[in-house]
Amino acid sequence: MAKQAEKHLAASPAELETYYREMLYIRHFEEKCNFAYRQGKAGGYLHVYIGMEPLAVGWLNSIRKGYDHVITAYRDHGHALLLGSDPVAVMAEIMGRSGGLSRGKGGSMHLYDIDKGFYGGWGIVGGHVAMGAGLAFSAKYREEDRVVLCYLGDGASNAGVWFETLNMCGLWDLPIVFIIENNEFAMGTRLEYHAADTELWKRGLPFDIKSERIDGMDVLQQKVDAQRIIDYVRKEQKPYLVEVMTYRFAGHGAADNDRQLYRTKEEEEHAMLRDPIKLLEKYLIQHNVMNHEKMEAIEEEILKEVDRIYDEADASPFPDLPEVYDNVYSDMSVEEGH
Amino acid sequence: MAKQAEKHLAASPAELETYYREMLYIRHFEEKCNFAYRQGKAGGYLHVYIGMEPLAVGWLNSIRKGYDHVITAYRDHGHALLLGSDPVAVMAEIMGRSGGLSRGKGGSMHLYDIDKGFYGGWGIVGGHVAMGAGLAFSAKYREEDRVVLCYLGDGASNAGVWFETLNMCGLWDLPIVFIIENNEFAMGTRLEYHAADTELWKRGLPFDIKSERIDGMDVLQQKVDAQRIIDYVRKEQKPYLVEVMTYRFAGHGAADNDRQLYRTKEEEEHAMLRDPIKLLEKYLIQHNVMNHEKMEAIEEEILKEVDRIYDEADASPFPDLPEVYDNVYSDMSVEEGH
Amino acid sequence: MAFAVASYRDTVRQTLIEEMDRDQDVFLIGEDIGRYQGTFKVTAGLFDKYGAKRVVDTPITEPGIVGIATGAAMTGLRPVVEMMTMSFSILALDQIINHAAKVHYMTGGQSTVPMVIRGPSGAANQLSAQHSHSMEGWFAHCPGLKVVAPSTPACAKGLLKTAIRDNNPVIFTENPGLYGVKGEVPDDLDFTIPFGKARIAREGKDLSLVAYSRMVHVCLAAAEELAKDGIDVEVVDVRSLLPMDTETIYGSVAKTHRAVVVYEDWKSGGFGAEIAARIGEDCFDDLDAPVGRVGGLNVPMPYTRILELECIPNEKDVIAAVRKIS
Amino acid sequence: MAFAVASYRDTVRQTLIEEMDRDQDVFLIGEDIGRYQGTFKVTAGLFDKYGAKRVVDTPITEPGIVGIATGAAMTGLRPVVEMMTMSFSILALDQIINHAAKVHYMTGGQSTVPMVIRGPSGAANQLSAQHSHSMEGWFAHCPGLKVVAPSTPACAKGLLKTAIRDNNPVIFTENPGLYGVKGEVPDDLDFTIPFGKARIAREGKDLSLVAYSRMVHVCLAAAEELAKDGIDVEVVDVRSLLPMDTETIYGSVAKTHRAVVVYEDWKSGGFGAEIAARIGEDCFDDLDAPVGRVGGLNVPMPYTRILELECIPNEKDVIAAVRKIS
Ligand SMILES: Cc1ncc(C[n+]2csc(CCOP(=O)(O)OP(=O)(O)O)c2C)c(N)n1
Ligand SMILES: Cc1ncc(C[n+]2csc(CCOP(=O)(O)OP(=O)(O)O)c2C)c(N)n1
Ligand SMILES: [Mg+2]
Ligand SMILES: [Mg+2]
């Protein structure tokens, strides 16, 4: 009977559990990040991926981890976690500790784990996309079949440098996937107020780049689409543009606490009907892959794990003052003092 | 018999003669500019419109001169002349004289005649297009039915700021026509080497902007297309994008004297078979609008006129040294000296 | 003239309202300034008051925004561009310094660009390396621009009105740390402060602290400390970097014979170097000690608070610099 | 070590060849550098020699080019980006100063950006306001970048090799007026000059002229003139602005007790102000006269030749500044 079900499964039970665990893990990890912010243990800008988890889970399970390269903007916690960064180092970075991924110098927006193929973690809207193409340029230069995933927001998809980049990617056939996270908002500005045509997938058309729009809430469908597209790019050595339709459940950042300025409660509730985690739970139950008890057990486990991560990170030290001068250059110290 | 012909004419004989005179005028005026450069009377960068005259004649005869606004890059002599600038002041500017349009401070690349609606005359590739949209923004803000013509090159059509501008023009319905002068080269780089898709008209598609490609060598057809498009923009108050297929007969600039680095003599000769002036002459003769004698007479007249302009400009004085400090601010002088 | 106590933020906002009411050609354009009320809430309520025509929400495209504002200004409109933070003006530098700033000169005086670009410049609170730039020095180096950096609500009002009424491109820098600062503000609708006039923020005879924007307050705090030890410092609020009132600065140095220039920007190559170089050259005979400088550490801004605080000059740093030459 | 006489242009070109032969990870990218041979012909012949893979012709999109080079560099490639003129680097400043320059710091030392951005900086011949910027000062203000401005072919070779082999982003500025300058160049394939080492271009005892790039030659010419009147000036070629060799500069001033800083950039706020401010502060007791400065006029560059020549400092301007404090 479970066997029976398996036939019709979109993925193996083990994979399904992995996706479930990963989405839940990102969700609770980031709830904890927001908690840290409210506690004053994280500062500055802090942006969560809540509601958008399938963009991390679907795509990062379709690449060759550690070999392929990933780059995104500041909504980057989930990417670091799924690419295998030490979660304590991620939380420590968000808390500005010396044990953080970037030694406390980057913060939530600037997570990097180069050894794991994660190139950040950037704060300037649209600023990282050309660097993403540079990663792909390098793969091609070295004749390696590496694929680059470059995420950007709907707001970022208006940035001039991105179009310049699309042109060069199309011109030179660079192996990169541009993933537009269309969560319908750029900070407090709704899509319709910042994009002349809200079908952002069309932006690849002038550059002879294959482009399409997909759903972002069904993680299983997204996994299938992601694998298809990544395989295409790796094989054909051509760029690809995907617009993923999702929704930013939270405010823009932890400091954005008046969402009613730009959207109604009703709209939010309507969007949350398609909470990707709930959708997957429904699927798992319908297909007898998991029951409620199992799910609760997993959630328990993850909550404990996240608590441990938080406590360990919180117990770790801040940088020593002299570290302020480290890492400006790889080989040279800077003049000290005011 | 002439009456007979008139029925089938694309324009009245008077208009046809005007177009002919204007194209010939620009051609000879710019030959003279190149002469001035060779004489060392013009310096820096000097770019001629030779072969591209219909882009000035066709479009600038379709606007409300003095009311509509025009902005372009550095290939700007023809625009100033047709918009009614004093030709001696144009030549004087190119020669760096105080009587020049910009008092000798701009030179060939930076011609402006604001009273005539000519907003220049810019040197940074792609840099002027957002200002062009600003002119249209102003027309809309003031609820005037002014149309803006914004010319840019095929090379400029890759510039990020232009895509940002297209998005805002589409988003806000700004009354502007973007005219891509596709002369197949960006300096020494052929279209295929700088554009992922050589059909540049497609660049308006992601922004819900009406876009098309037209021929740039037949001035009569271009006049018809220009009028149609300008009327549309004025009436509908929406942006429009036109890719005009033309060819740069000369080198990139007066200093570019090795065109064989990027194209063959054969290619050039082939392109010159469609010299817009020759095409119009053929038409005028076929339709009995003008005979060779008349044409030669007109050319004689124009050559004389251009000689006069050159001599007058050349006889005009250079700026006085203290003028170097003028016009930095409209209301304030600057600190002097080194 | 009557006064009212108001915060720096509310004063900038109120001044925008007064100028928009005065002149229909004045409009605001920027990211999230309308429906979202502005990231630092400086434009709160203005979208409802003036509508989408005069409070223009834009895509996140700084080069395009500034270019559009420049073109509009060339036709006589008076755009006030908000940079969500001045760090983002870096994307638009080509449009600002290589276009807007040069229009009047390149057109031989035919055209002007009555545009104001305003926004917070300098470090806020843990915004990290890409969001914490002090930009005023970059702009003050560029002929064709005017650059101001007011430190008090009253100066903000007077200089913003002058900026909006000026026919040249003006960079109006606010500092995130100043928005909450309160002060007395004249309610005169035509209260303007001319550019190029510095202000003596505190009188003193022993040494001149020369600063602008938020650092003026740091200097004033340091001055109080130093006063306890009998060191009586004068604080010169430069206010306007381009044009700059060297006369007032030199006058102060002629009186005190000592000077320390204080600025938040990276110390090396910041505009404080220009001020120090001028004092050193033009006040040579008045000086009893080398011209000191206190600037930000020459490192990208780190995220973690303790390191960030290390980077930004504070009272202690100023006091140390003063003692060094006293 | 053997020497050969070569022009600055050919030396830069030859150095690129040597480094490309030495290291397959080195590649060139820029506008019209390949098929067109480069606007200033610095890359003449390299496209034929190395092909489209290592000599990459690009669209005219400086932000994208620098961003792509930065990303490639983060993976260990060593791009050498040509800016057709440094004036166009203004479009890419966000990618340069707010991305490339901060990678090493923001990643906590995980990543480096071994990239060189080179090209002509300063006025050429009547290229007008938008094409005549001196950019080195803007870059030298930015931590994370290294900035050099060699004045001779030999320095160009030594510093370009160091730049290409450096693991940090380096801005290598040439001056259009230098390409034709000839000089002796060591033919050693590993001839490098460390960053942060100034050069005494001419020994003298009466006054120190401090300059870099083309202005070094202007200073040397002025020195010859002054020598005729018995004024023996020393010329310090700073060469490397970030890091900067203050030791050599201060040593010269300690000897001569007088200094004039000479630079082509707009005088106000140019990097010469930083140099002057440092001398003024750190050599206070050595100085017998105020530190003089000679800089470009504070105006956008005009087109017409006579006004353009007015803007750029020349021997006469330097001589006048020297006499003023001698
Ligand atoms: C160049 C630039 N301008 C403005 C900002 C401020 N800002 C940060 S995030 C953001 C909204 C971006 O929206 P989007 O690209 O859709 O990404 P999302 O936050 O929705 O993931 C803005 C305006 C910035 N960081 N960089
Ligand atoms: C931002 C910038 N980069 C490079 C240049 C140098 N440049 C001047 S014209 C030109 C080619 C432009 O080609 P295109 O846009 O097709 O115009 P065309 O010259 O063909 O009319 C280049 C590379 C510049 N002026 N501005
Ligand atoms: Mg978004
Ligand atoms: Mg072209």
With CB atoms and an 8 Å threshold, state whether C109 touches B330.
Answer: yes
- Going by C-alpha positions, the residue among D170, B170, C86, D61 that lies closest to residue A167 is D61
Among chain C residues, the shortest Cα distance to B143 is held by: C53
Compare CB distances from C128 to A123, A189, A319 and report the shortest one's residue: A123
Look-up of token digits 């009245």:
B12
Q: Could you tell me the distance, in angstroms and rounded to a whole number, from the CA of residue B43 to the centre of ligand 4?
A: 21
pTM: 0.98
Task: Tell which residue, A312, A290, A249, has the closest CA to residue A21.
Answer: A290
Residue C1 has what pLDDT?
Answer: 76
pLDDT in tens, A207-226: 999 999 999 999 999 999 99
Q: Which of A30, A122, A162, A187 to mutate to test the pocket of ligand 1 (most atoms within 8 A of CB)?
A: A187
Among the partner-chain residues D95, D111, D167, the one whose CB lies closest to the CB of A130 is: D95
Strand-by-strand arrangement of the B148-153 sheet: B69-71, B148-153, B176-182, B240-245, B210-215
**How far is the C-alpha of A154 from the C-alpha of A168, rounded, in Å?**
20
B276 CA to centre of ligand 3 in angstroms: 49
Report the alpha-carbon angle C147-C148-C152, nearest 5.
170
Quote the CA–CA distance of D81 and D101 in Å, as a whole number.
15
Catalytic site includes residue D308: no
A173 DSSP assignment: T
Given C18, C19, C31, C62, the catalytic residue: C62
Which tens digits make up the pLDDT trace of B57-75?
999 999 999 999 999 999 9
Cβ separation D31–B160 shorter than 8 A? no
Q: Please name every residue paired with C26 in a beta bridge, in sequence order, or none if there are none.
A: C78
Ligand 1 pocket test: which of C60, C82, C130, C131 has the largest number of ligand atoms within 8 Å of its C-beta?
A: C60
Element (H, E) at A25: helix A13-38
Q: Counting atoms of ligand 1 from 1, which one is nearest the CA of A52?
A: 21
Helices B13-38, B53-60: axis angle to 10 degrees equals 140
Ligand nearest to the backbone CA of C128: 1
Residues in A closer than 8 angstroms to D112, CB to CB, are 330
CA angle at residue B199 from B193 to B203, to 5 degrees? 105
Q: Hey, are the CB atoms on B137 and C72 less than 8 Å from each other?
A: yes
Q: Is the pLDDT of residue B261 over 90?
A: yes
Which ligand places an atom closest to the C-alpha of B184?
4
pLDDT of residue A1: 39
Q: Which of B98, B116, B328, B335 best tests the C interface by mutation, with the highest count of C CBs <10 A? A: B328
CA of A250 to the centre of ligand 1 (A): 15
CA-to-CA separations, A290 to A6, A22, A281, A303, A304, in angstroms, rounded? 12, 15, 8, 19, 20
Ligand 2: centre distance to CA B186 (Å):
6
- Please give the Cα distance from D8 to C118 (Å, whole number): 43
Binding-face residues of C in 98-137 toward B, CB within 8 A: 98-99, 104-112
Please name the amino acid found at residue A83: L
> Confidence class of residue A8 from pLDDT cuts 50, 70 and 90?
confident
CB proximity C296 to D under 8 Å: no
Between CA A269 and CA A299 the distance in angstroms is 23
D298: contact with B, CB 8 A cutoff: yes
The two structure tokens encoding residue C208: 């001149």
Q: Is B14 helix (H, G, I), strand (E, B) or coil?
A: helix
Instruction: Judge whether B159 is closer than 8 Å to chain D, CB to CB.
Output: yes
Q: What pLDDT digit, counting tens, does each position of B96-139 carry? A: 999 999 999 999 999 999 999 999 999 999 999 999 999 999 99
pLDDT on residue D101: 98
Contact assessment for residue D32 and residue D65, using Cβ atoms and an 8 Å cutoff: no
| DSSP helix/strand/coil, B224 | helix
Stretch A145-171: mean pLDDT? 98
Angle between helix C46-54 and C8-22 (nearest 10)? 50
Is D273's Cβ below 8 Å from some Cβ in C? yes
Nearest alpha-carbon partner for A177 in A244, A239, A243, A246 = A239
Q: Which of C60, C88, C141 is the best residue to mutate to test the D interface, defined by the most D CB atoms within 10 Å of its own CB?
A: C141
CA distance C238 to chain B (A): 17
Kindly report the backbone phi and psi dihedral angles of residue C237, in degrees, each rounded to the nearest multiple of 5, phi listed first.
-95, 105
Output the pLDDT for position A257.
83
Which of D18, D19, D31, D62 is catalytic? The answer is D62
What value does the mean pLDDT take over residues B74-83?
Answer: 98
Structure tokens of B314? 């050349």
Alpha-carbon distance of A97 to D129, in angstroms, equals 48
Rg (CA), chain D: 19
Indicate yes or no: CB of D303 within 8 angstroms of CB of B338.
Answer: no
Contacts of B180 in chain A (CB under 8 A): none
Q: Which ligand is nearest to the CA of A152?
A: 1
Please tell me the residue having the least CA distance from ligand 2 atom 18. Answer: B153
Length of chain C: 326
Nearest to residue B79, comparing CAs of B111, B106, B105, B42?
B111
Decide if D135 contacts D90 (C-beta within 8 A): yes
**What average pLDDT does this structure show over A270-297?**
97
Tokens of C236: 């010169």
Chain B CB contacts of D296 below 8 Å: 338
Q: What integer pLDDT is reported at residue B6 of this predicted model?
A: 58
Question: What sign has the CA pseudo-torsion C198, C203, C206, C212?
Answer: negative
| Interface contact flag, D321 B318, Cβ < 8 Å | no
Please tell me the predicted confidence (pLDDT) of residue A7.
63
Are B254 and B46 a contacting pair, CB within 8 Å? yes
* Closest by Cβ to C304, choosing from A126, A318, A325: A318
Q: Which residues of chain C have pLDDT under 50?
A: none
Residues with CB under 6 A from ligand 2: B 75, 123-125, 153-156, 181, 183, 185-187, 248, 252; D 31, 60, 62, 84, 88, 91
Flag whether residue A161 sits within 8 Å of chain B, measured between CB atoms: yes
Structure confidence at residue B2 (pLDDT): 47
Write out chain D in H/E/C secondary structure. CCEEEEEHHHHHHHHHHHHHHHCCCEEEEECCCCCCCCCCCCCCCHHHHHHHHHEEECCCCHHHHHHHHHHHHHCCCEEEEECCCHHHHHHHHHHHHCCHHHHHHHCCCCCCCCCEEEEECCCCCCCCHHHCCCCHHHHHCCCCCEEECCCCHHHHHHHHHHHHHCCCCEEEEECHHHCCCEEEEECCCCCCCCCCCCEEEECCCCEEEEECCCHHHHHHHHHHHHHHCCCCEEEEECCEEECCCHHHHHHHHHHHCCEEEEEEEECCCCHHHHHHHHHHHHCHHHCCCCCEEEEECCCCCCCCHHHHHHHCCCHHHHHHHHHHCC
List chain B residues with CB under 8 Å of C75.
69, 134-135, 138-139
Ligand 1 centroid to Cα of residue A252, in Å, is 9
Quote the CA–CA distance of C246 and C253 in Å, as a whole number.
10
CB of D212 less than 8 A from some CB of C: no
Q: Distance between CA atoms of D58 and D136, rounded to whole angstroms?
A: 24
Whether residue A147 has pLDDT greater than 90: yes
What gap in Å lies between CA D260 and CA D249, rounded to an integer?
Answer: 11
> Which band of pLDDT confidence, cut at 50, 70 and 90, is reported for residue A2?
very low
- Contact in structure between A51 and A77 (CB atoms under 8 Å): no
Q: Is A171–B207 a contact, with Cβ atoms under 8 angstroms apart?
A: no
Mean pLDDT of chain B: 97
**Is omega for the bond preceding D292 within 30 degrees of 0, making it cis?**
no
Judge if the beta carbon of residue A154 lies within 6 A of ligand 1.
Answer: yes
Q: How far is B240 from chain A (nearest CA, A)?
A: 13
Contact D269 C268 (CB under 8 A): no
Per-residue pLDDT of chain D (326 residues; tens, 9 = 90+): 799 999 999 999 999 999 999 999 999 999 999 999 999 999 999 999 999 999 999 999 999 999 999 999 999 999 999 999 999 999 999 999 999 999 999 999 999 999 999 999 999 999 999 999 999 999 999 999 999 999 999 999 999 999 999 999 999 999 999 999 999 999 999 999 999 999 999 999 999 999 999 999 999 999 999 999 999 999 999 999 999 999 999 999 999 999 999 999 999 999 999 999 999 999 999 999 999 999 999 999 999 999 999 999 999 999 999 999 99
Classify the phi-psi angles of B337: left when phi > 0, otherwise alpha if psi is within -120 to 50, otherwise beta: left
Write phi, then psi, for C3 (nearest 5 degrees): -125, 155
> What integer pLDDT is reported at residue B8 of this predicted model?
81
C131 is catalytic: yes
pLDDT number for residue B257: 83
Tell me the per-residue pLDDT of C102-152, one tens digit each, with 9 for 90 and over. 999 999 999 999 999 999 999 999 999 999 999 999 999 999 999 999 999
- Considering only the beta carbons, identify the residue of D61, D70, D107 that sits closest to A131: D70
The pLDDT value recorded for residue D1 is 76
Rounded Cα–Cα distance for residues B13 and B6 (Å)? 7
Q: In this structure, which residue's CA is closest to atom 17 in ligand 2?
A: B153
Nearest-CA neighbor of C222 among C260, C168, C196, C182? C260
Q: Do D277 and C281 touch (CB under 8 A)?
A: no
- Distance of CA A300 from the midpoint of ligand 2 (Å): 61
Residue A6: band (very low, low, confident or very high) from pLDDT cuts 50, 70, 90: low
From A198, A199, A227, select the one nearest A211 (Cα to Cα): A199
Please report residues of C whose CB lies closer than 8 A to that of D99. 130
d(CA B300, CA B314): 21
A185 lines ligand 1 (CB under 6 A): yes
Interface test with A, best of B197, B199, B202, B213 (most A CBs within 10 A): B197
How far is ligand 2, taken at its centre, from the CA of residue B116, in Å? Answer: 26
Torsion sign (Cα): D97, D101, D106, D112: positive
Asked if D100 is an interface residue toward chain C (Cβ–Cβ < 8 A), one would say no
Is residue C306 classed as helix, strand or coil in its secondary structure?
A: helix
Residues near A24 by beta carbon (within 8 Å), at least 6 away in sequence? A277, A298, A299, A302
How far is C-alpha D242 from the chain's CA centre? Answer: 10
Arithmetic mean of pLDDT over chain C: 98
